[in-house]
Amino acid sequence: MGKLGAILMILSLIIATSSVHAKSQMSKQEKAWFRNLCRGKKKVAKLHFYLQDELSGPNRTVYEVSRSNITSISPTSFGQVRVLDNLMTAGPGRNSTELGRAQGLITFADLKESALAMNINFVFTSGKYNGSTLCILGRNPILGRDRELPIVGGSGVFRMAQGYSISNTYSYDPVADYGILEYTIYVTYVKESDDGVH
């Protein structure tokens, strides 16, 4: 039995327990959701997209929130916190099909290396994942190649998601202060059973 099997078993136990002790605390909808989840199938998806990292200009999508008193003299900008709401596109071009937004916080959190502690939510606004989100949380050594970050969860289609992402800097234009980041995500999630039994 895999990890997911174990999670599902625990969920079954929760349902069994809650039906004994907290029958009235669970709505019909919730009960149906749990039941469908237990009968659900584990799915694997690979996603590939780009982020438009617009660091300056009138349409910028990244802003500084705060900094420590050593940020300006730190070779790694240690202590700087930024918030971003970057456009997610299917291809690398700015005008490529819009898939959604990447929203969250990045903190320069390494005294010696350029590395971020980051928490980004990928918010899908088109295609089959429209309305769903995936959440990244981890360390990002921004100068390296094939930077791996954990996918720690999701919502909508991606409920119970787990996985990892690989990112690379596709390009950076220092004059426009404009970066394009490439992301490949491998994610497992549970597709709820939709056999209509409620």
Ligand X SMILES: *[C@@H]1O[C@H](CO)[C@@H](O)[C@H](O)[C@H]1NC(C)=O
Binding site for ligand X (CB under 6 A): 57-59, 69-70, 93-95, 125-126, 130-131
**Closer of 78 and 189 to ligand X (Cβ):** 78
Q: Which residues, other chains included, contact 106 with Cβ-Cβ below 8 Å and sequence gap of 6+?
A: 81, 82, 84, 116, 117, 118, 120, 140
Which C-beta is closer to ligand X: that of 74 or that of 119? 74
How far apart are CB 66 and ligand X at their closest, in Å?
A: 14
Of 84 and 118, the one with the shorter C-beta distance to ligand X is: 84
Minimum Å gap between C-beta 24 and ligand X is 32
- Nearer CB in complex with ligand X: 27/59: 59
Q: How far is the CB of 51 from ligand X (least distance, A)?
A: 15
Distance CA 139, CA 97 (A): 28
Distance CA 47, CA 6 (A): 26
Q: CA angle at residue 95 from 93 to 101, to 5 degrees?
A: 90
Residue entry with tokens 């590395």: 115
CB of 58 to ligand X, least distance (A): 5
